[in-house]
């Protein structure tokens, strides 16, 4: 089962439907977690949401508890949430992308996606990862073609993945394939 933690976003149910194509999905608010179901699930997904990672200490706790024990995937805010828990700084960007389709490319060799591959993706983020960022076993695997901002990371050892863009958006052309690969890896 996949447990999706909703940060009261207006895109979470698109995420739910996208993941439902692969497994049974349970979704709840971040402040109404069903502990039993969370424990039983094999994958935890942190949804997009408004604000910044410091607004969601409960989600940070869940990340720290289950890192390395379950597959964890973060989308947009969820992506930032995971990096924040890995001591990264999340900062404002000069140019903000809301409802924007842009191109990202795979930049690292070790990624589950082949290097140099490009994807058209939908973006809705005000904040970004401050770089340089270093954390054990984490590598930035995708970057924005136009601004070079970090767009995906992988930590295959601990089974943790994140997308700064929205694979569930209608602006992302290969969203389903991206999720499928992550779930299979």
Partner 1 sequence: MRDYKKYKLKFNPYLDKLYNSDKSLIIYKVINGYNIYTDFSKKIILNNNNINSFFKFFNNKIFKKETDILIGFFGYEILCNLIGLKIKNQKKINFYKGIFYKPETIIKIRDKISITSNIKKHKFKDHFNSTKILSPFKSNISFEKYKKIFDLFSKKIRKGETYQIKICTKYKNKSQINPLNFFWKLMKVNAAPESFMIRDKDYSIVSCSPETLIEKKGNSIITKPIAGTLKKNKKTSIKSAYRFFKNNIKETKEHNMIVDMERNDLSRICKPGSVNIKKEKYVEEYKHLYHYVTSIAGKINKNVKIKDIVKSMMPGGSVIGCPKIKTLQLLNEQENEERNIFTGSFGYIKFNKDMRFNLIIRSILNFKNYSEISAASGVVLDSQATKEFNENYIKAKSLLELFK
| Chain positions contacting partner 1, by CB under 8 A | 8-14, 16-17, 20-21, 25, 49-52, 77, 92, 96, 98-101, 122, 124-127, 166, 168-171
Cis ω before 14 (30° cut-off from 0):
no
12 vs 59 by CB, closer to partner 1: 12
Tell me the helices (H) and strands (E) count for the chain, helix number first: 5, 9
11 vs 113 by CB, closer to partner 1: 11
Select which of 85, 86, 154, 168 is catalytic: 168
User: For residue 56, what are the β-bridge partners?
Assistant: none
108 vs 174 by CB, closer to partner 1: 174
Name the nearest CA neighbour of 161 among 108, 122, 96: 108
Least distance between partner 1 and beta carbon 34 (Å)? 18
Least distance between partner 1 and beta carbon 9 (Å)? 5
Least distance between partner 1 and beta carbon 60 (Å)? 17
**CA-to-CA distance for 80 and 92, rounded, in angstroms?**
12
Does the annotation mark 85 as catalytic? no
77 vs 106 by CB, closer to partner 1: 77
Least distance between partner 1 and beta carbon 110 (Å)? 30
Q: Strands 150-155 and 160-163, how do they pair?
A: antiparallel
Does the annotation mark 166 as catalytic? yes
What per-residue string of b and e applies to 143-175 under the rule 16 or more CB within 10 Å gives b? bbeeeebbbbbbbeebbbbbbbbbbbbebbebb
Select which of 76, 85, 86, 154 is catalytic: 76
**CA-to-CA distance for 108 and 142, rounded, in angstroms?**
7
Least distance between partner 1 and beta carbon 54 (Å)? 11
**CA-to-CA distance for 31 and 90, rounded, in angstroms?**
22
Q: Catalogue the active-site residues.
A: 76, 166, 168
């Amino acid at each position: 089962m996949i447990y999706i933690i909703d940060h009261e976003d207006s895109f979470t149910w698109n995420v739910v439907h996208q993941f439902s194509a692969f497994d049974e999905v349970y979704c709840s608010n971040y402040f109404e977690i069903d502990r039993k179901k969370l424990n039983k699930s094999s994958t935890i997904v942190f949804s997009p949401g408004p604000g910044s990672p410091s607004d969601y200490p409960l989600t940070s706790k869940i990340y720290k508890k289950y890192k390395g024990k379950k597959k964890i995937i973060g989308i947009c805010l969820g992506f930032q949430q995971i990096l924040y828990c890995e001591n990264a700084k999340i900062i404002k960007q000069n140019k903000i992308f809301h409802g924007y389709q842009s191109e990202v490319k795979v930049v690292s060799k070790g990624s589950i996606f082949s290097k140099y591959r490009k994807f058209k993706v939908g973006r809705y983020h005000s904040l970004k990862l401050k770089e340089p960022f270093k954390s054990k076993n984490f590598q930035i695997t995708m970057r924005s073609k136009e601004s070079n901002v970090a767009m995906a990371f992988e930590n295959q050892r601990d089974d943790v993945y994140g997308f700064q863009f929205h694979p569930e958006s209608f602006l992302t052309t290969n969203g389903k394939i991206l999720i499928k690969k992550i779930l299979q890896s």
